[in-house]
Amino acid sequence: MEVFKVEYRVKDLLKKDILKDATYLGDSSGLNNIITGITVVDSPDIADWLKGGELLLTSLYPIRGLTIEAINEWMARLSGKKVSALIIKIQKVFSEVPSFIMKASEQHGIPIIQISKDVAFIDIMYPVMEELFNDKVRKLEYYKEVHDRFTALSLADEGEDKIIETLEALIGNPVALYDRDFRCFATTNNSISLFYGMERINRKEEITDTKFPFYRQSVVFPGIQEQKSEQIVVTVETINHIKMYLIISELNKKITSFDFIAIENAATSLSLGLVKKFAIAEVEQKFKDDLLDDLLAGKTQSLHPLRDRANVIDFNLDSQYVALLFHLEGDYHGDEDGEKLTSHKQQQRHNKYLRQTIEFYQRDAIIRERSDVIIVLWKVLQKDENDRDWLNQIKTSLDHIQQKFKKYNENLAVQVGIGNIAQNALDLSQTYQEAQDSLKLGQLYNQGDFAISFNELGVYRLLYQLKDVSVLTNFVPQSLQKLLDYDHAVRNDLLETLKVFLQTSQNASKTAQALFVHYKTVTYRIERIKEITGIDFDDSEEILSVQLGFKILDVMNKQEKS
């Protein structure tokens, strides 16, 4: 592609032969001011008619009668219109540029070019207008070439990586694409994918004719020896109001108006490509959710009719999966980032982060969201029936997920129910039901983080299947019932002592440690329990029935509360 000349600036103007004897009065930064037009000052209210960036020609005659304060205000108005420079012809009204105008020039950042009375304004205007006209032509030609190039990329469905690589080649600065949470989606330089210390820059841009929203920010790149740089941040709209951010880091050079032409076309191509990509992803997700719902509900008795549907989403029906149910427990109310959000909105945001965390640790997991739970089919490989490594591996990953989420939000607990292995897709409804039971039972006994598997539920799996809770009272042994009926202030202490005593395999010393009481207190309580209940602690059958009785009481209490 042809290399195009950048904007016409004050420093380019001073190279004209007509201005070889002119005197530049201003600092060096004014030399880079962009010239967008040229006009003669014919009245003091010229600022009302300026569009911005013009070069002004004047002999100071129209403002000769103004006071110093009025002239200072006049210069301020010109500065507000970002006038590129003021060309003043001397020896007509003033023999030299007055000091008060020079002072106003410095104060408002408007450079002055002093010319003699022999230089005709028209001899300056024509060359400048020619340059500006040529600049417009060059921009139109450049726009067409860039537009055609990005259109070809979009039609070829080249993707985000190719688009930002093309943009980098055109503008000479690294480019990256980020999601709404500023996680890097694609980049042309890994060193700029991470940055911190974002500070928004509110100064007025010298580029004002862009067709898309953008802003500047200052950042620090840890990957480039803590180098500080400015960035152009462009908002890219996609489907369902999902926003992405196209970010150009000015590491090599400042962005020009020609660069903005390329950026605008790249942003358009990215928007079209991402809309298509997200729309396809939504359709695929809906397809995947429908198939998963059928499998979890056990609606099919044969894998054959499902294979075509499963192949579309790369779902291997013959693989081994374990169902996991994730639930966030805690208070969703409050503000986030100064934004008032409903509980539902906050729950969606937290669930999104949890889902992304799960996908990070299990990239080939199949995930389905339903109201307040996230269903995950976790792919495993069990060597034989006695192999339990799969559960240890899952729990290790779950520990990482819970820890990472805790750093994100310490007020919410990640609760997980784990089913058994489904040997193929026809068993998914069973492992899903087991995961539901595990989550439900885990929530009865835990308020914070937990990850409990169906096999770890023990006898509780049987007890919770009874629909009529009152039936359970018939299975509480008579000896334990006597202790429950014992009308005495120490009854609760005796019940707790008996429960812990049995949990510690009738070890009085460990029971005392667990209850934070003296050893003799435990031995005394055990004797009182024997007197009240008549329990024979040497009878294994009776001890088993008492232990089961405690679990029944536990279930009854939990279900009554729930």
Residue 128: CATH number of its domain = 3.40.1390.20
- Indicate if 305 and 249 belong to the same structural domain: no
CB 453 within 8 A of CB 436: no
Among residues 245, 277, 309, which one ends one of the domains? 277
Total count of domains within the chain: 4
Residue 147 lies in a domain: no
506 falls in which pLDDT band (50, 70, 90)? very high
Q: Which residues pair with 243 in a beta bridge?
A: 237
- The confidence score (pLDDT) of residue 338 equals 44
Which structure tokens are listed for 330?
A: 């805690």
Q: In which order are the strands placed within the sheet that holds 23-25? A: 23-25, 112-115, 85-89, 54-58, 37-40
- Indicate if 216 and 99 belong to the same structural domain: no
- The confidence score (pLDDT) of residue 84 equals 92
- The confidence score (pLDDT) of residue 335 equals 46
Helix (H, G, I), strand (E, B) or coil at 378: strand
- The confidence score (pLDDT) of residue 466 equals 60
Which structure tokens are listed for 459?
A: 């006898």
Candidate from 110-124, 272-286, 451-465 with smallest mean pLDDT: 451-465
- Indicate if 450 and 489 belong to the same structural domain: no
Q: Residue 527 sits in which domain range? A: 469-561
Query: What is the percent of the chain with per-residue pLDDT over 90, rounded to a whole number?
Result: 35
Pairing of strands 37-40, 54-58: parallel
- Indicate if 423 and 340 belong to the same structural domain: yes
Which structure tokens are listed for 558?
A: 């939990």
Residue 464 lies in a domain: no
- Indicate if 483 and 555 belong to the same structural domain: yes
Among residues 457, 485, 504, which one ends one of the domains? 457
Instruction: Please say if the pLDDT value at position 4 is more than 50.
Output: no
How distant is the alpha carbon of residue 189 from its chain centre?
20
pLDDT tens, position by position, 374-412: 999 998 887 777 777 888 899 999 999 999 999 999 889
Residue 228 lies in a domain: yes
DSSP code for 97: -
DSSP code for 60: S
Give the count of alpha carbons within 13 A of 177, CB side only: 24
Q: Give the C-alpha separation, 76 to 62, whole Å.
A: 17
Q: Mention every residue, 6+ apart, whose C-beta is less than 8 A from residue 114.
A: 22, 23, 24, 25, 88, 90, 96, 97
Q: Which of 145, 147, 156 is nearest to 273 (CA)?
A: 156
- Indicate if 453 and 482 belong to the same structural domain: no
2 falls in which pLDDT band (50, 70, 90)? very low
- Indicate if 355 and 421 belong to the same structural domain: yes
- Indicate if 313 and 228 belong to the same structural domain: no
pTM > 0.85 = no
Among residues 132, 148, 179, which one ends one of the domains? 132
User: Please, what is the average pLDDT of the chain?
Assistant: 84
- Indicate if 221 and 346 belong to the same structural domain: no
- Indicate if 435 and 304 belong to the same structural domain: yes
Residue 264 lies in a domain: yes
Instruction: Please say if the pLDDT value at position 306 is more than 80.
Output: no
Give the count of alpha carbons within 13 A of 29, CB side only: 5
